[in-house]
Amino acid sequence: MNAGDPHRDETPWDIGPDSHDDKLREECGVFGVIGANDAAAICALGLHALQHRGQEAAGITSFDGHEFFSRRGLGQVAENFSAGEAIAELPGHVAAGHVRYSTTGGTGLRNVQPLYADLASGGFAIAHNGNISNAMLLREELVRDGAIFQSTSDTEVIIHLVATSRYPTLLDRFIDALRMVEGAYSLVCMTTEGMIACRDPLGIRPLVMGKLGDAVIFASETVALDVVGADFIRQVDPGEMILVDFDGKIRTHRPFGKVSPRPCIFEHVYFSRPDSVFDGRSVYAVRKEIGAQLALEAPADADVVVPVPDSGVPAAIGYSQQSGIPFELGIIRSHYVGRTFIQPSDGDRHSGVKRKHNANRAVVEGKRIVLIDDSIVRGTTSHKIVQMMKDAGASEVHFRVASPPTGYGCYYGVDTPERSKLLAARMDLEAMRDFIHADSLAFVSIDGLYRAVGHKSRDLGCPQHCDACFTGEYPTSLTDLSRREMEAAQLTLPVNKVA
């Protein structure tokens, strides 16, 4: 979606510029703090810890009890908020922030969050992680009724729905608005009365709550609480809405009734930082367990287990411990890859991988390798890494993947290539093995993944997670997608020619 964007830097566990097209990408991280003297500075620090969730843009909005202040910019958090002057522009004891890599709405400053609007009830700022899967339909209806949109972001739909709701209080209008949207949302909002944090009824995207002295904090991941020195209190429950006023009083509402939650299982596989706790489980421990499950399900006769850095490391440790095959760093990652490095030529597609990762010949040469990565999306990077191992003298490369085949797109706030580009949607296992030139290829099973996350198996009648990118079973309606597909079908109806 944003190929060629100079702001597309690598996350800590990416493989280089062309790997951006070969990983699913989490789209956003949110952070909010209320009741702190230096709210904007805490918010900037928290966003920095969430940088892996979006590197395209960052924004912070603060409120000093009278006025809202906002600073939003393209690029990473440090580029926008490391200077004292930037933080000084954001006074007040409450602040909300956002890091973004866009799913819906594309690039551009007007889509950078938090989005802000003056409503009849006063100022309203919103930071959103997720994606609203009926946003286009709602937007068309709102525009027909006279709404004028400032951005192309799906999040702005929520603002307009709040603004046009006929309920008397802001809280009721907000609930009314959220009842109309479908899809995934973890929201941190600021009003003139305090902060509201809420999570969609299925809890698809994460959101946690912490405490720093008297201040209350909300963040996409626990790692942001750790980094600002806050204590983890609990996750915001699926379907829960938590209000914190300026006196620190906390009220909680569950306006959507009880639904079985479906948190995104890919947070465990790749999106969340390994030092976070998601859905009550250490992400690092789960990733190691996925590796152990892989070793049980797909053993290999090999000399060393090698992770694709950094995303494959915990699963490779788990595979090694379960199988008894030694773990070795057979690929070394450069930590000094510049973002603006110019490729020698368009044809040299290997250089993007090589300048980020290099084979450690001392480990690899003459060895049978079990190569572990978190996922295969298009397969182009996997192919290059396998080739890199063989070029360095590996006698065999057995590729093991710490997630099931990714055969479907995500419509809940993750950037996925169109389905026709997903390797698993195009090929069977043997064809994929052949495509990446591995000696063998295996993925962890969906039940193996569920076991690693702490379940006996996947509940077929009511899956415990969203796993739609592996199974194609989406937990919500996908209204906009269905409408697009219907329109496309109509466009391709055969034309009856009269002879």
Residue 414 CB, shortest distance to ligand SF4, in Å, is 4
Give the nearer residue to ligand SF4 in terms of CB position, either 92 or 475: 475
Give the nearer residue to ligand SF4 in terms of CB position, either 225 or 468: 468
H helix count then E strand count, the chain:
18, 23
Give the nearer residue to ligand SF4 in terms of CB position, either 141 or 237: 237
From candidates 256, 266, 319, 327, binder to ligand SF4 by CB under 6 A: 266
Q: Does 265 bind ligand SF4 (CB under 6 A)?
A: yes
Q: Does 376 bind ligand SF4 (CB under 6 A)?
A: no
Is 469 a catalytic site residue? Answer: no
Beta strands in 380-485 (DSSP E): 396-401, 414-415, 440-443
**Are 284 and 229 a contacting pair, CB within 8 Å?**
no
Which residues are CB-neighbours of 285 under 8 A, at least 6 positions away?
Answer: none
* Phi, psi for 434 (deg, rounded to 5): -65, -40
Give the nearer residue to ligand SF4 in terms of CB position, either 185 or 319: 185
Beta strands in 291-351 (DSSP E): 304-307, 331-333
Counting Cα atoms < 13 Å in the Cβ hemisphere of 159 gives 29
Q: Does 436 bind ligand SF4 (CB under 6 A)?
A: no
Q: At what angle do helices 283-297 and 313-323 cross, to 10 degrees?
A: 50
Residue 320, helix vs strand vs coil: helix
Instruction: Report how far residue 153's alpha carbon sits from residue 403's, in angstroms, rounded to the nearest whole number.
Output: 30
Q: What is the dihedral of CA 45, 50, 52, 53, to 10 degrees?
A: -140
Residue 146 CB, shortest distance to ligand SF4, in Å, is 34
Give the nearer residue to ligand SF4 in terms of CB position, either 204 or 402: 204
Q: Does 412 bind ligand SF4 (CB under 6 A)?
A: yes
From candidates 159, 286, 422, 469, binder to ligand SF4 by CB under 6 A: 469
Please spell the DSSP secondary structure of 36-67, one letter per residue: -TTHHHHHHHHHHHTGGG--SEEEEEEE-SS-
Instruction: Report how far residue 205's alpha carbon sits from residue 185's, in angstroms, rounded to the nearest whole number.
Output: 6
Residue 130 CB, shortest distance to ligand SF4, in Å, is 9
Q: Which of residues 165-204 bind ligand SF4 (CB under 6 A)?
A: 204
Q: Which one of 164-172, 224-232, 351-359, 464-472 is the stretch in contact with ligand SF4 (CB under 6 A)? A: 464-472
Residue 244, helix vs strand vs coil: strand
From candidates 178, 389, 410, 438, binder to ligand SF4 by CB under 6 A: 410
Q: Which one of 260-268, 297-305, 433-441, 485-493 is the stretch in contact with ligand SF4 (CB under 6 A)? A: 260-268
> Which residue's entry shows tokens 């789209």?
27
Q: Does 467 bind ligand SF4 (CB under 6 A)?
A: yes
**Are 378 and 345 a contacting pair, CB within 8 Å?**
no
Give the nearer residue to ligand SF4 in terms of CB position, either 212 or 425: 425
Residue 393 CB, shortest distance to ligand SF4, in Å, is 36
The residue annotated as part of the active site, out of 28, 198, 264, 410, is: 28
Q: Which one of 83-91, 159-167, 262-270, 309-317 is the stretch in contact with ligand SF4 (CB under 6 A)? A: 262-270
Instruction: Report how far residue 158's alpha carbon sits from residue 173's, in angstroms, rounded to the nearest whole number.
Output: 10
Q: What is the dihedral of CA 113, 406, 437, 293, to 10 degrees?
A: 110
**Are 120 and 163 a contacting pair, CB within 8 Å?**
yes
* Burial class of residue 282 in the structure, from the number of CB atoms within 10 Å of its CB (0-12 exposed, 13-18 middle, 19+ buried): middle
Give the nearer residue to ligand SF4 in terms of CB position, either 195 or 466: 466
Q: Which one of 307-315, 351-359, 362-370, 410-418 is the stretch in contact with ligand SF4 (CB under 6 A)? A: 410-418
Residue 196 CB, shortest distance to ligand SF4, in Å, is 23
Q: Does 422 bind ligand SF4 (CB under 6 A)?
A: no
Residue 465 CB, shortest distance to ligand SF4, in Å, is 7
Q: Map residues 13-42 to x or -, x wherever contact with ligand SF4 holds by CB under 6 A.
A: -----------x------------------
Q: Does 264 bind ligand SF4 (CB under 6 A)?
A: yes
Give the nearer residue to ligand SF4 in terms of CB position, either 101 or 412: 412
User: Looking at residue 269, what DSSP letter applies?
Assistant: I
State the pairing for strand pair 250-253/241-245.
antiparallel
From candidates 157, 414, 423, 424, binder to ligand SF4 by CB under 6 A: 414
**Are 133 and 411 a contacting pair, CB within 8 Å?**
yes
Residue 488 CB, shortest distance to ligand SF4, in Å, is 21
Q: Which one of 41-49, 261-269, 310-318, 375-383 is the stretch in contact with ligand SF4 (CB under 6 A)? A: 261-269
From candidates 147, 468, 476, 478, binder to ligand SF4 by CB under 6 A: 468
Name the residues annotated as catalytic: 28
Interacting residues toward ligand SF4 by CB under 6 A: 24, 204, 264-266, 410, 412, 414, 466-469
